[in-house]
Amino acid sequence: MSTNTQWLASVQSLAEAQSLNACLPDMLDMKQPAKGALGALPLDVVSDIVRWNANRCLTSATIGDLPMQAPMIESAIHQMAKTGVDFVKVGLFGGDEQADCLQALTPFISQQNTPVIAVMFADRQYDNDVITQIVNTGFRGVMIDTADKNGQSLLDLWSTEALTEFVQKIKSADRLCGLAGALRLGDIATLRALQPDYLGFRSALCPERNRNGSLSAALAKSIAAALQ
């Protein structure tokens, strides 16, 4: 597992991915921001981006803001994995049914050829042992993001102490760890010091932080430069 913090850029179209051709992130993440925190892109768009990328960087894709119902999640992972993406990201939105859902997902997730990443949200509530539950389910990594895209950032919601503990728990379980959630260029130094595997960006890549708008290669270059 990498010791240097890498970066992930969320793109919503092939054209956006292509606009990053000169400054590809370490991971091209595919999602539809207008459809929620983990809005899914159509499968053919994901396939086109995967084909265009031709393994020049890693790829990930989200399956949508789905309820914690195992059959629905399994079917969405199965479909998304067929696009050839390197990682599939699944949102865990908390709630009473989550622990049972994770248990039900365990045989499927642990046997997946395409690794699956669990995405938690800093503005949602979880059981105290949620990381253990995630690890036991067979997820390859855990990312923390924000569910409500209202400008509040990860650092507005969680202290650096809480984030340090989060990163350490995940890395000591030998899983990938990512931090995201309205991150800004100026947050990089603070968050990189915690040694996550990935920092994830969308708002910071868009002019005026309009995450549903389009992406700017110049802003992506500044993020890449700050992580050099």
Residues that bind ligand G3H (CB under 6 A): 8, 10, 29, 31, 145-146, 149, 180-183, 200-204, 211
Residue with tokens 């915690």: 194
Which lies closer to ligand G3H via its Cβ, residue 158 or residue 201? 201
Query: Given phi > 0 = left and psi -120 to 50 = alpha, else beta, which region is 64?
Result: left
- Contact, 57 vs 29, CB < 8 A? no
CB neighbour burial string for 6-42, b if at least 16 within 10 angstroms, e if fewer: bbbbbbbbbebbebbeebbbbbbbbbbbeebbbbbbe
Which lies closer to ligand G3H via its Cβ, residue 110 or residue 210? 210
Task: Give the whole-angstrom CA distance, residue 102 versus residue 69.
Answer: 9
Which lies closer to ligand G3H via its Cβ, residue 25 or residue 70? 25
- Contact, 80 vs 61, CB < 8 A? yes
CB 85 → ligand G3H: shortest distance, Å?
14
Q: Catalytic annotation on 31? A: yes
CB 207 → ligand G3H: shortest distance, Å?
13
Q: Catalytic annotation on 221? A: no
What six digits make up the tokens of 180? 């995201």
Task: Indicate which residue of 31, 35, 82, 149 is catalytic.
Answer: 31
Which lies closer to ligand G3H via its Cβ, residue 68 or residue 199? 199
CB 91 → ligand G3H: shortest distance, Å?
11
Half-sphere exposure of 31 (CA within 13 A, CB side): 28
CB 200 → ligand G3H: shortest distance, Å?
3
Which lies closer to ligand G3H via its Cβ, residue 32 or residue 83? 32
Task: Indicate which residue of 35, 82, 89, 171 is catalytic.
Answer: 89
In the chain the first and final C-alpha atoms are separated, in Å, by 18
Largest CA distance in the chain: 45
CB 121 → ligand G3H: shortest distance, Å?
10
Active-site residue list: 31, 89
